[in-house]
């Protein structure tokens, strides 16, 4: 494997990492379903394990999206280890900020994602993701609001 091939593979995997976060934040079912192999497993500790694209959509539609009015993930510290030319292990940290539906409460969540990626027929996708939540912290007295909501227009 050439250095150029390795860089292209890293870029493709980094896109998968971001695509999962973007898909959940923007509620994009097509993007979310497209990043998992049919036999993939997505485990969120304390919630359960979901299999394949259908499982990812089930988790999003029946657990994650009903939980939040809106949320945004910030992914960082992605570290990739090539196990072989077609298998990569990854670990990364995620900070989620959002507004919960229940109680109209803002929340801060931090997680560590431990991932396995596989290339099949030239395409990289998730084969496994484990999310371990470090903090699930309601932010008392805080509600995230869009810019400008607290400011009256000039002349008002």
- Name the phi and psi angles at 153, rounded to 5: -60, 150
Pairing of strands 123-138, 36-44: parallel
Catalytic site residue from 15, 19, 73, 93 = 73
Known catalytic membership, residue 25: yes
**DSSP notation for 18-57:** HHHHHHHHHT-HHHHHHTEEEEEEEEETTTEEEEHHHHHH
Cα separation, 14 vs 18, in Å, equals 6
Catalytic site residue from 19, 25, 58, 93 = 25
Cα separation, 88 vs 1, in Å, equals 14
DSSP state of 61: I
Catalytic residue numbers, as ranges = 25, 73
């Amino acid at each position: 494997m050439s250095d150029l091939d390795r860089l292209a593979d890293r870029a493709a995997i980094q896109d998968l990492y971001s695509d999962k976060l973007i898909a959940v934040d923007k509620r994009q079912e097509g993007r979310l379903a497209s990043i998992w192999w049919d036999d993939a497993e997505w485990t969120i500790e304390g919630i359960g394990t979901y299999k394949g694209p259908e499982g990812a959509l089930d988790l999003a539609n029946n657990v994650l999206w009903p939980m939040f009015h809106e949320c945004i993930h910030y992914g960082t510290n992605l570290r990739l280890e090539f196990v072989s030319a077609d298998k990569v292990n990854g670990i990364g940290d995620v900070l989620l900020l959002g507004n919960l539906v229940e109680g109209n409460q803002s929340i801060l969540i931090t997680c560590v994602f431990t991932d396995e990626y596989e290339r099949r027929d030239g395409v990289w996708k998730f084969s496994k993701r484990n999310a371990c939540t470090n903090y699930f912290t309601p932010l008392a007295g805080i509600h995230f609001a869009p810019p400008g909501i607290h400011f009256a227009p000039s002349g008002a």
